[in-house]
Amino acid sequence: MVEVTDYTAAGWTVPANPDERSRGYCARLEEGQILFFAGIPYELPAADRDLLIGVRQTSAAYHKNISYRPREDRIHGLDRASADADRLRAIMNAYSRNVTAFAADFLRPYAPGWKLDFASFRSIEERGRDLPLKQRNDLLHTDAFPTRPTNGNRILRVFTNLNPSEPRVWLTGEPFDVIAPRLASDAGLADHAAKARSSLRPISRLPGRVGSALGLPVPDRSPYDSFMLGFHDYLKANRAFQEAPGKSRWEFPPNSTWIVFTDSVPHAVLSGRLALEHTYIISEEDLVLPEKSPRHVLEKLAGTSLRN
C-alpha cells in the first residue's frame, strides 16, 4: 500500500511537474498497489456525510446498498419509492462530481479516456452477510462485471470509509500478473483461447446478437471478459487459493480513502459498513504500464488475442 500525503493544494497542485507525479501514481496502481489517503481528498459536505451515515436502519432506503448511475443521474437499490430518494440522488450526484474532479486531476493520464461507471453507497455490514458463493465479498476475487464487459479496459475504484468509528477491513492477495501464470490454466484459459481462435466464434455469439436486435440488454462479451468472469468465480471457489499464506490484511480507518484496480488486485471485504465507492473504466490505451494489464498477461500466456 502506498500512503499518499501530498494531495492537498500545498503539496499537489504546486509542484513543478504534476503530470510526471501523476504518471507515477498511475504506475503504482497498475503494479497492484493501493493508494491510501488518511482523509477524504475531495469535497464531501458534512451535511451530506451526516445524512448518509445517520439514517436509521429501518428506513426503506437503507435495506440495500444503493447504486448510482452518473451518466443517467439515477439511483438504484431502493426497496420502494422513498422520501429519501431525491436527497440521496442529489448527494450521490454531488459525490460523483467531486470525487471525479479529484481523480481526474490526481490520475491525469486516465481522465481523457475513462468512462464513468457506477457509484455506490454501501450501508450494509459486510461481516456475516448470507450470500451465494459468487456474490460473497468476503472471499478473495478479482472484479469482472457480468453486464458491463470491458474488452480489456480496466476497472478502477475509489473507496471512502464513512463509518465514524469502525474501520473497513480488507484482505488482498498478489496481483494478477503474479497469480495468473499459476492459476489461469486451471481456470480454463485454454478453452477461452480456443474459442477466440475458432472460426465458429461469430456463430457461437449469434444469440447475443439476436438479443441485441430485439432490444434486449445482452452484453457483447469478448473472450477476455468471459475468462475474467469465470476467473472471479474460480478464485472464490478455490479453497487452496483462499487459504494460502501471503495475504495482506488492511484496516481502512474512519474517513480514509483508497484507490485500487480491483480487476487485478484480489480483494475481500471482511467487515465494515457505510462506504462510498466510485468506479471508472480506464481505457487500455491510457495505461502507463500496459504490460501489467490482465489482458496483456493473459494473451501472453494464451498466445492469442482475447479481444473482440
Distances 262 to 62, 124, 293 between C-alpha atoms, Å: 25, 20, 12
- Report the residue number whose CB is nearest to Fe ion: 143
**106: amino acid identity, one letter:** F
Report the residue number, 61 or 180, with the smaller CB distance to Fe ion. 180
Distance CA 269, CA 254 (A): 15
Binding range to Fe ion, per CB under 5 A, among 84-92, 140-148, 204-212, 272-280 = 140-148
- Picking from 56, 55, 61, 52, the residue whose alpha carbon sits closest to that of residue 95 is 52
Q: Do the Cβ atoms of 64 and 76 come closer than 8 Å?
A: no
Residue 157 CB, nearest approach to Fe ion (Å): 8
Q: What cell was used for 160?
A: 471512502
Among the listed ranges 85-93, 120-128, 135-143, 245-253, the one in contact with Fe ion (CB under 5 A) is 135-143
Span from 1-9, 76-84, 141-149, 202-210 in contact with Fe ion (CB under 5 A): 141-149
CB of 260 to Fe ion, least distance (A): 10
Instruction: Identify residues 225-264 at the interface with Fe ion (CB under 5 A).
Output: none
| Closest CB to Fe ion among residues 96, 137 | 137
Stretch that binds Fe ion, among 33-41, 137-145, 226-234, 248-256 (CB under 5 A): 137-145
Nearer Cβ to Fe ion, position 58 or 135? 135
- Which run of H or E residues covers position 117? strand 115-122
Least distance from C-beta 264 to Fe ion, angstroms?
11
In terms of CB distance, is 98 or 238 closer to Fe ion? 238
Residue 202 and residue 26: Cα distance in Å, rounded?
36
Give 202's contacts (C-beta < 8 A, 6+ positions apart): none
Nearer to Fe ion, 143 or 299 (CB): 143
Maximum C-alpha span of the chain = 58
Count of residues near Fe ion by CB under 5 A: 1
Per-residue interface string for the shown chain with Fe ion, residues 143-162, x marking contact by CB under 5 A: x-------------------
Per 3-state DSSP, what percentage of the chain is helix, strand, and coil (rounded to 5)?
Answer: 40, 20, 40
Minimum separation from the CB atom of position 141 to Fe ion (A): 6
Please state, in angstroms and as integers, the Cα–Cα distance from residue 142 to each residue in 126, 168, 191, 232, following that order. Answer: 17, 18, 20, 5
User: Is 117 one of the binding residues for Fe ion (CB under 5 A)?
Assistant: no
Looking at beta carbons only, is 193 or 268 nearer to Fe ion? 268
Q: How far apart are alpha carbons 283 and 111 in whole angstroms?
A: 9
CB of 54 to Fe ion, least distance (A): 27
Return the number of the residue (196 or 275) whose C-beta is nearest Fe ion.
275
- Contacts with Fe ion by CB under 5 A lie at 143
